[in-house]
Structure 1
Amino acid sequence: MNSSTFQSLQEKVRGNLIAADHPGYETARSVYNGMIDKRPAAILQVSQVADVIAAVNFARDEGLDVALRGGGHSAPGFGTCDGGLVIDFVNRRGVRVDPSTATARAETGATWADFNHATNAFGLATTGGIIGSTGVAGLTLGGGIGYLSRKYGLSCDNLKSADVVTADGKFRVASATENDDLFWALRGGTGNFGVVTSLEFNLHPVDVIYGGVIIYLLEHAEAVGELYREKIATGPEEFGVFLGVHQGPVVPFLPEEFQGRPVVVLVGGWTGPHDEGERQWQPFLDVAPVAGSFLGPLPYPVLNTLFDDSLPKGLQAYWKAEFLPALSDEVIKVAKHFGQWIPSDQTANHFYPINGAVQRVPKDATAFPYRDADFAAVIAGMWEDPADNDANVGWVRDYAAGLHPHSAGGAYINFMDADDQSRITDNYAGNYARLAGIKAKYDPGNLFHINQNIKPAG
């Protein structure tokens, strides 16, 4: 489409409409995953909801593909497209906290670093991501696993309402009392049902936690994994910690001799009384020789941003995932085996606990169906040099194939890559048919299909 075609849209919006001839186009079209190199016809950096309504109507009437970009952190690059229109919330990052009701409303461009900075001023938080640069909207709409999941449930379990522009260009509020079917679908169904322009969350008293990182050499994977499995199964829900396999990072608390070597890590925090924090962590300092550790009282936003500097925008990225019914001995062996060849210091294999409060929500209460799995596993391949793409993608795929026999059947939608569309029905399990029906109601033409796509029923 030529620039004159977009003139009619420009006349209806106040945001920045950036086409290929705009001097800021190259910067505006870039996304978090450096492997993604797509050229949209235009990027609209929206200024308000009216812009979103105009953009949706324009794209639908012109037959354009539409990509939705919130925080811009999508590993598969769903925040962009070739030849279509990107609706970008980069300039809409506000977070408003109401301490009297313990709620917060976030605009769609906000990241978890933005959100936690705002809520921590009041000693409050809700379940968010592991990386501060992750978008609030994208994480929540896919479910939302984080450090607080065991105690307070998923991000989507804490969603109170959402403002949405649907494919017909209408503005709707989705909540338990308004458009409740849409509200159900948004809590796990991603961006399939419309453009979310803001989200309202319930908050909880979380301020300074006791946490950090413990690192062991990979040879201790069995001992660490067995203790971790027991602690997560029987320990207090205030212990929100994940198990991972990495290369030893270049950090002050890890001796140089262990940096770059395959290691097992524990990362997270204790959100209970501070005087119990050291006691909760102590068994992990005793279970095996510790290569390095960093533990103590931390403001919750610091925990949420520990990895941000090592994971800048522009890395090559390819991810795979599984839900696991248990962290079995066999799963730990698979992790140890493939951990020997972990390909870069940015690559991460994590096992996130999703028991506790997550499992107290019925399977059919939200679109997120795997309420009986104990862990969500991700193999997040990330590296700098495109010359390593074939080898590193191969490692991720091989590892995923080794883990798949131990799967609960599906995987966490936010960890799936662009080539995982064939797993969509498994990933939503018994909720898929209902999602397809709601999709047919709110987006019968599948305007919002650049995602892990749920096709309209019929």
Structure 2
Amino acid sequence: MATRSKAHAALAALREELAGDVFAPEDPGYDEARAVFDAMTDRRPAVIAQCANAADVVRAVLFARDLDLHVAVRGGGHGLVGARVDGALVVDLRRMREVTVDPAAEAVRVEGGATTGHLDRATQAYGLATPGARTPATGVCGFVLGGGTGRLDRAFGLAVDNLIGVELVTADAERVHANADENPELFWALHGGGGNFGIATALTLELHELPEFSVALLLFLPEFGPDVIRTVREIIRTGPDEVSGAVMYLALDTVLCGALLTYVGGETGLRKLAEPLLALPHETQAVGALPYADGQGLLEPLPGLRNHWSAECLTDLPEELVDLFWARADGMPVANGSRHVIFPLGGAIAAGPGVYPVPYRDASWVVHPCASWADPADDGRATAWVRDACADVRPWSTGAVCLDLVGDEGPERVRAGLGAGNLLRLEKVKRRYDPDNVFRFNHNIEPV
């Protein structure tokens, strides 16, 4: 009874002191507040704190520590990790989405709840950009700190390579800054270690000039898929770092093969690069310059569906793998936007700093099967398709993992995503900033 009374009083104080809103299971609006992108996730947090500023985040963490609650953080909306939050406090940052561009310094400060769409539209107004996620609804902070990869990486490096500073609330509810000079060991760990060390209330990122951005999107009948993959492979091999893209099988009313080329430059340069692809028989094409933020909206996942995805980083893209990738498209869950994607790395990714816990820099391509479906009866078939698609290409795997592209696949995959040689050092940083593993709803690093 005393414990329940303490919790009731603490919740009442939190409601009173937070500038944002607080939801408990009995409150109107709780079900809306707990809903997430993936329809497979139906979890019931103990409390949801929709924070309006960093002071709210501090207060929410103090509340959690007072009641011995674990803390989950919500920034964007596309992740499959962190869904198992029953009985926890969810610190929802989505009201904190201010993006402040400093064009003279070519830098941008991004609050913890801002999405890739917020970031790209703010920087685009100045002809500037920073590498971000491939979909506008992805949260910037989670993506960057997890070492994610997007469409500008071959030209400008990984998003985490462009990280200048982090504003963090730790498990002790302390506000700290991390950069190359201040808390440098924490700053190192945040380059791939994700949300293990605290709640990122803001990031500062380096910007690059991006006066022009061009896209070529072509759709082919699926039987042309192997030729499409080989052609894109050659374009990437012989082209500049400014060109990137993907080949994908798309399951809509039927399965089609899509090829996407993106180019940091104008339409004329892209058309020259895309000539071999345009020469293949295709059903439709769209080629031209467009604002970078608009290009990020291409092939956005559909909300309200059940989802499962994974990824494998590859040493190479040989002929045998091309054939296996093409054959696996036959079993795709059809009609709900499933995608079987392969995209290139290399360029500035491979040339980036090797000191951070981002172990997949030496990969040349990534296979990324993404299943989306509506009927729970298809859960087994859809997840098996993703698993089998990854198994197909495992003989060419580098052994590393891009953690932003996988869900909860166990501790060995987390180790592969951080680099086994980095793990002890990361565990020591975790012990320093979160010895009780309060922040565990992530690709978790346990304190040593």
Provide TM-score, normalisation by structure 2: 0.94
Query: Do structure 1's residue 301 and structure 2's residue 259 form an aligned pair?
Result: no
Aligned equivalents of 2:155, 2:262: Cα separation in 1? 12
Once the two structures are TM-superposed, the CA of residue 27 in structure 1 deviates from its matched residue by: 0.3
The one-letter amino acid of 1:144's match is G
Deviation per CA, 1:265-321: give whole Å up to 9, x if none: 2224111244322111111111x311221111111111101223xx24321111111
Q: Which residue of 1 aligns with 2:168?
A: 164
Confirm or deny: 8 A CA contact 2:431 2:447 kept in the other structure: yes
Query: Do structure 1's residue 244 and structure 2's residue 234 form an aligned pair?
Result: no
* Alpha-carbon spacing, 1:400–1:175, altered in 2? closer, same or farther (3 Å): same
Confirm or deny: 8 A CA contact 2:248 2:340 kept in the other structure: yes
| Structure 1 segment 212-361 matched on structure 2, within 5 A | 212-247=216-251, 249=252, 260-286=253-279, 288-308=280-300, 311-344=301-334, 345-361=336-352
Moved more, 164-173 or 431-440: 431-440
Q: Secondary structure at the match of 2:409?
A: helix
Confirm or deny: 8 A CA contact 2:302 2:337 kept in the other structure: no
Q: Which residue of 2 aligns with 1:396?
A: 386
Moved more, 221-230 or 332-341: 221-230
Deviation per CA, 1:34-78: give whole Å up to 9, x if none: 1000000110000111111122222123221211000122123x1
Aligned equivalents of 1:12, 1:142: Cα separation in 2? 32
Q: Which residue of 2 aligns with 1:22?
A: 27
Q: Which residue of 1 aligns with 2:118?
A: 114
Q: Secondary structure at the match of 2:348?
A: helix
Q: Which residue of 2 aligns with 1:149?
A: 153
* Alpha-carbon spacing, 1:208–1:273, altered in 2? closer, same or farther (3 Å): closer
Aligned equivalents of 1:59, 1:404: Cα separation in 2? 41
Confirm or deny: 8 A CA contact 1:125 1:205 kept in the other structure: yes
Aligned equivalents of 1:210, 1:439: Cα separation in 2? 42
Aligned equivalents of 2:353, 2:321: Cα separation in 1? 26
* Alpha-carbon spacing, 1:104–1:362, altered in 2? closer, same or farther (3 Å): closer
The one-letter amino acid of 1:66's match is V
Confirm or deny: 8 A CA contact 1:424 1:453 kept in the other structure: yes
In structure 1, the gaps of 5 or more residues are 250-259
Q: Which residue of 2 aligns with 1:443?
A: 434
Q: Which residue of 2 aligns with 1:91?
A: 95
Aligned equivalents of 2:315, 2:66: Cα separation in 1? 45
Aligned equivalents of 1:268, 1:186: Cα separation in 2? 31
Tell me the number of residue pairs that the alignment of Structure 1 and Structure 2 aligns.
441
Once the two structures are TM-superposed, the CA of residue 407 in structure 1 deviates from its matched residue by: 1.0
Once the two structures are TM-superposed, the CA of residue 97 in structure 1 deviates from its matched residue by: 0.8
The one-letter amino acid of 1:236's match is P
| Structure 1 segment 192-211 matched on structure 2, within 5 A | 192-211=196-215
* Alpha-carbon spacing, 1:362–1:97, altered in 2? closer, same or farther (3 Å): closer
Confirm or deny: 8 A CA contact 2:148 2:402 kept in the other structure: no
**What RMSD, in angstroms, separates the aligned Cα atoms of the two structures?**
1.7
Q: Which residue of 2 aligns with 1:69?
A: 74
Query: Do structure 1's residue 46 and structure 2's residue 51 form an aligned pair?
Result: yes
Once the two structures are TM-superposed, the CA of residue 79 in structure 1 deviates from its matched residue by: 5.3
* Alpha-carbon spacing, 1:349–1:126, altered in 2? closer, same or farther (3 Å): same
Which segments of structure 1 move beyond 3 Å, counting only runs of 4 or more? 1-5, 419-422
The one-letter amino acid of 1:93's match is R
Once the two structures are TM-superposed, the CA of residue 358 in structure 1 deviates from its matched residue by: 0.7
Moved more, 210-219 or 161-170: 210-219
Provide TM-score, normalisation by structure 1: 0.92
Once the two structures are TM-superposed, the CA of residue 452 in structure 1 deviates from its matched residue by: 0.9
Aligned equivalents of 1:229, 1:170: Cα separation in 2? 48
Confirm or deny: 8 A CA contact 1:224 1:284 kept in the other structure: yes
Once the two structures are TM-superposed, the CA of residue 239 in structure 1 deviates from its matched residue by: 0.6
Deviation per CA, 1:77-129: give whole Å up to 9, x if none: x1561011000012111111111111111111111111111111111111111
Confirm or deny: 8 A CA contact 2:249 2:329 kept in the other structure: yes
